[in-house]
Structure 1
């Protein structure tokens, strides 16, 4: 699948070159493609030797898989050109998201009921379930933003569909996926309250009422179970110093990442060594990563790697905020606010897990951000920022 995608984008790039078409990009997109590839992937390749290592093992294998993710993202540099040379519009992009969410609702309704809302069974069936949940909630937030942008009954329907899917994903019990939801909802309120107050009141009360019903009436409520488990983990740590739990393991990994950062603050100790260090610190289970994008990158790839991660988050957010000021163009305002909401949710979720651990979630992030920026550029407000 990945090889096919890479070959496809290479063919498109060659087509652009030989047809002498305009290569469309901007500094944000270039930075998002180049900085992580250099400061994380090439860091592993040149300084840590992970790609040509003769040593076999899950630690080296994990490092190779993780580091390659950002190399593949170079392919998305041709996406703006593809969108410029076609009739692709934002309606088509969000209709694709709508179809995905409808499929998600059907699949997750069946899965939740079939597995009796059991967190352990869900985690096994949807592994890695927390990244699965991050991705689907992030897409649902995009659809919610689209619902607030649309006028009339269609906007209400789209927003309702998004909220139902978010609630179904919340029932998986991934606590890290819950963290960014209140912030995302607050952003929706800030961006759209001035002309959507009825819709906001409706869809603020709806999830609250549904959550209360789920919490109180569902006999096997995963939400209640996960909250109880969190309190038990916290008590173990504070009262007995027992870190043998989900929360305790994360605390140990965070402390270990900060300690390892001191050994190589500029370039990091590498993904393999951090993996091995985690296994020594947390003897109950060999945890592959630090369960935080920021601390994982800081320890494994140092300040250089962290600067790349911060760039792929904050550079597009700054771009979108600058475009939000252009309220005269309602489409650009909507696309920009959607981008801010999407990235902000992923940033918060990245506090407690490694969002970029697998290709799927990494590609989703790049696909959404590159598409939103490309559609804004296509609207023509940023002609002066296009590099050809």
Structure 2
């Protein structure tokens, strides 16, 4: 029994370390997710009598399975593009991890510590690259956009951690979590990635709304006021670079509109989106396949419809348009299902447990992941990158299992009282 308990602790430690080493330690997430997957081979070693798979567990697993298989089928349909099987397979490999965590009763709250540490390490790494190394955009061994978006997600998850620690009256870790929230967002700012910034006001409002009863009206207004002050200050202070990046975006849009300059950061995105829409029109049901993206873009460039500088990019810098252009309406359906099914499952738990913050905190954290990705997807194809797949699929599995264990713990307490 003691050996099983230690094994369960190891599993949750690896889950926490996935967040802690996500981007603060270059490629750190690869090691922890691989180890926790290998641990799933010993899932039969953990079989508590209380374990039972419910409808939500099955729905999440089947969603991972369906999306992974749809991506694999699309790659094989696309002239047997075997090289495209790598990232889709991750959505299948996370399935045994779901069952492993559902059978591993351990310190699930370690995840909150991992998230806060991960945010602080991400900011420290970004600061080191910008100040010491003098690079223009922090990247931590990843593409700057992926680094920035992941940092933003860690920052927002740190705010969910702050809600958890506040509900448990653990004020030292509450303060650490708030610093973690600022650190994660700071890492995003230092990366210069604008796409993730949209998530701050939208998800911030979601967090405030969900914890309005926990905070009370006075605290809620105080938090809202401080948040607005921090956002306005970050925008107005030139050293953050936000003003410059937003100004560049506005200038790029104006230049693209009047045709004076199209090969800008935003202009190239517009051309990628335009070509993606064209591809969708050519094959609306199944898409043209990833192998046809650049050949079609070369034709469009030759016809003067897009800039030649947009041709080398092998994706649309928009997850929705990428799915539509390469996998058609069917591909978009499976993509939306991968976002919306987990989101609906976590939001349903929020409605079921209106006053229990030991459960609600995990539901909020889990809901933030698809929310963030749905925002990031507007300006980046997250699932074309290994970190994008891993930091979506595995954290959703972690939060779902943590939530289910929190429910079981509360049920056990009620049974003891009765």
Scaled to the shorter chain, the TM-score interval is: 0.7 to 0.9
Paired with 2:408 and 2:146, the residues of 1 have a C-alpha distance of: 34
User: Residues 252-310 of structure 1, C-alpha deviation per residue, up to 9 Å, x if partnerless?
Assistant: 11121111112222221111211333355331241121011010011111122111111
Residue 371 of structure 1 is aligned with which of 398, 409, 415?
398
Mapping of residues 249-268 of structure 1, within 5 Å: 249-268=268-287
Within-5 A mapping of 1:1-388: 9=37, 12-13=40-41, 15-16=42-43, 24=53, 26-51=57-82, 64-65=83-84, 67-114=85-132, 121-122=136-137, 126-151=141-166, 152=169, 153-154=171-172, 155-196=174-215, 197=217, 199-218=219-238, 220-240=239-259, 242-280=261-299, 281=301, 282-285=307-310, 286-326=312-352, 327-380=354-407
Q: Tell me how far apart the structure 2 counterparts of residues 3 and 100 of structure 1 sit (CA, whole Å).
A: 15
Contact 2:119–2:155 at 8 Å: present in 1 too? Answer: yes
Q: Relative contact order (alpha carbons < 8 A, sep ≥ 6): 1 or 2 greater?
A: 1
- Residue 99 of structure 1 aligns to a residue whose secondary structure is helix
Q: Aligned equivalents of 1:101 and 1:5: distance in 2?
A: 18
Distance 1:8 1:189 in 2: 33
Deviation of the 1:183 alpha carbon: 0.5
- Preserved contact between residue 115 and residue 122 of structure 1 (Cα < 8 Å): no
Q: CA deviation at 1:215?
A: 4.4
- The answer for unaligned runs of 5 or more in structure 2 is 1-26, 302-306, 410-418
Q: CA deviation at 1:217?
A: 4.4
Question: C-alpha offsets along residues 214-242 of structure 1, whole Å, 9 cap, x if unaligned?
Answer: 54444x54212112211211111222263
Residue pair 1:293, 1:354 contacting (<8 A) in 2 also: yes
- Deviation of 1:200 (Å): 4.2
1:142 CA displacement: 1.2
Distance in 1, Cα, partners of 2:328 & 2:178: 41
CA–CA separation in structure 2 for the residues paired with 1:223 and 1:291: 21
Q: Structure 1, residues 332-352: CA drift from partner, whole Å, max 9, x if none?
A: 222112222232121011011
Normalising by structure 2, report the TM-score: 0.78
Q: Is the 8 A contact 2:359 2:407 kept in 1?
A: no
Residue 356 (structure 1) shift: 1.0
Displacement of 1:115: 5.2
Shift of the alpha carbon at 1:136?
1.5
Separation in structure 2 between the aligned mates of residue 163 and residue 18 of structure 1, nearest angstrom: 40
Residues 307/47 of structure 1: CA separation in 2 closer, same or farther (3 Å cut): same
Cα distance, 1:186 vs structure 2: 0.7
Q: Secondary structure at the match of 2:109?
A: helix
Distance 1:335 1:6, change over 3 A: closer
2:21 is matched with: none
Distance 1:199 1:132, change over 3 A: farther
CA distance in 2, matches of 1:313, 1:276: 30
**Which whole-Å CA distance do the structure 1 matches of 2:192 and 2:72 have between them?**
32
Compute the displacement of 1:359 (Å): 1.3
The alpha carbon displacement at 1:70 in A equals 1.6
Preserved contact between residue 101 and residue 162 of structure 1 (Cα < 8 Å): yes
Instruction: Sort the Cα spacing of 1:208 and 1:73 in 2 relative to 1 into closer, same or farther, 3 A.
Output: same
- Any conservation in 2 of the 1:180–1:346 contact (CA below 8 Å)? no
Q: Does the 8 A contact of 2:252 with 2:266 survive in 1?
A: yes
Task: Please say if residues 158 and 181 of structure 2, whose CA atoms lie closer than 8 Å, have aligned partners that are also in contact.
Answer: yes
Equivalent pair of 1:332/1:379 in contact (CA under 8 Å): yes
CA distance in 1, matches of 2:237, 2:78: 55
Distance in 1 of aligned mates of 2:375 and 2:64: 22
The offset of 1:204, in angstroms, is: 3.6
Please give the root-mean-square deviation of Cα atoms over the aligned residues, in Å. Answer: 2.9
TM-score (norm: length of structure 1) = 0.84
1:385 — aligned with what?
none
What CA distance in whole angstroms lies between the structure 2 residues aligned with 1:88 and 1:19? 12
